[in-house]
C-alpha cells in the first residue's frame, strides 16, 4: 500500500495540519465571513477574515471534510495572515497553478503549502485542496467592494 504517489499525497506535514489544524474556529471581529462547500462530496468550510487597510490581520476557518481539504484550509490561513490582499491573491494564483501541475512562481516562499504539491497527481482530489483558497479569494474580493 505504501506507494510513492500516496506518500506524496499524504505528506507528514499535511497530516500534521489535519490532526492539529492552525487557526481553527471563527473570528468575532471578522470583516469577511464566507461559507463554501463542495457539492459533489459534502466538504464544507466557513472562513472568517479580519481585513484592515488592505491587510489580512487575522484568519480562521471552521468546517468538515477530508484530510486534504482541512489541511489545505489550515495552511491557507497560516499563509495569508499578515499579508496584504494582493499577496494573498497572488498566493492563491500560485497554488492554483501548482494544483494544475503548471510551472509556478517559486520566488515566493510557500512554506508548508509546498507539501500539497502531490495532490496534483490525484485529479479527483484537487477540488478538496482548492476549496479554502476559493473561499479566501471570494472573501477578500467581496470585502473590497462593500
Partner 1 sequence: MMNREIKSYFPILDQEVNGHPLVYLDSAATSQKPVQVIEALTRYYEFDNANVHRGVHTLGNRATDMYEGAREKVRKFINADTTEEVIFLRGTTTALNLVAQSYGRANVEEGDEIVITYMEHHSNVIPWQQLAKERGAVLKYIDLNPDGTISLEQVRAAVTDRTKIVSMMYVSNVLGTMNPIKEVTQIAHEHGAVMVVDGAQAAPHLKIDVQNLDCDFFAFSGHKMCGPTGIGVLYGKKDLLNNMEPIEFGGEMIDFVGLYDSTWKELPWKFEGGTPIIAGAVGLGAAIDFLNEIGLHEIEQHEHKMAAYAMNAMNEIEGLQIYGPTDPQKRAGIVTFNLNDVHPHDLATVLDMSGIAVRAGHHCAQPLMKWLQCTATARASFYVYNDESDIDRLVEGLRSTKEYFSDVF
- The binder of partner 1 chosen from 125, 129, 133, 134 (CB under 8 A): 125
Phi-psi region of 86 (alpha: psi -120 to 50; beta: other; left: phi over 0): alpha
Q: Does 36 bind partner 1 (CB under 8 A)?
A: no
Q: Does 66 bind partner 1 (CB under 8 A)?
A: yes
Q: What binding mask, one character per residue, do residues 72-91 give for partner 1 by CB under 8 A, x or -? A: --------------------
Q: What is the dihedral of CA 62, 85, 56, 113, to 10 degrees?
A: 50
Q: Residues 98, 104: contact at Cβ < 8 Å? A: yes
Q: Does 62 bind partner 1 (CB under 8 A)?
A: no
Look-up of cell digits 490561513: 77
- The binder of partner 1 chosen from 128, 131, 132, 135 (CB under 8 A): 128
- The binder of partner 1 chosen from 10, 13, 36, 54 (CB under 8 A): 10
- The binder of partner 1 chosen from 25, 26, 42, 111 (CB under 8 A): 42
Look-up of cell digits 491587510: 55
The CA distance from 9 to 5, in Å, is 6
The CA–CA distances, whole Å, from 39 to 36, 104, 121, 122, 146 equal 9, 28, 22, 18, 27
Q: Does 18 bind partner 1 (CB under 8 A)?
A: yes
Q: Of 85 and 99, which CB lies nearer to partner 1 in the complex structure?
A: 99
Binding footprint of partner 1 on the chain (CB under 8 A): 1-3, 5-6, 9-10, 15, 18-19, 40-44, 64-68, 122, 124-125, 128
Amino acid at each position: 500500500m505504501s506507494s510513492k504517489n500516496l506518500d506524496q499525497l499524504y505528506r507528514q506535514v499535511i497530516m500534521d495540519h489535519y490532526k492539529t489544524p492552525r487557526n481553527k474556529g471563527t473570528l468575532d471581529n471578522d470583516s469577511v465571513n464566507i461559507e463554501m462547500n463542495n457539492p459533489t462530496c459534502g466538504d464544507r468550510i466557513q472562513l472568517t477574515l479580519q481585513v484592515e487597510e488592505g491587510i489580512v490581520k487575522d484568519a480562521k476557518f471552521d468546517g468538515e471534510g477530508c484530510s486534504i481539504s482541512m489541511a489545505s484550509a489550515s495552511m491557507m490561513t497560516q499563509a495569508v495572515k499578515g499579508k496584504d490582499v494582493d499577496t494573498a491573491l497572488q498566493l492563491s494564483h500560485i497554488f492554483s497553478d501548482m494544483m494544475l501541475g503548471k510551472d509556478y512562481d517559486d520566488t515566493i516562499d510557500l512554506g508548508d503549502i509546498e507539501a500539497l504539491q502531490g495532490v496534483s497527481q490525484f485529479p479527483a482530489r484537487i477540488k478538496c485542496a482548492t476549496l479554502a483558497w476559493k473561499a479566501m479569494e471570494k472573501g477578500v474580493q467581496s470585502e473590497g467592494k462593500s
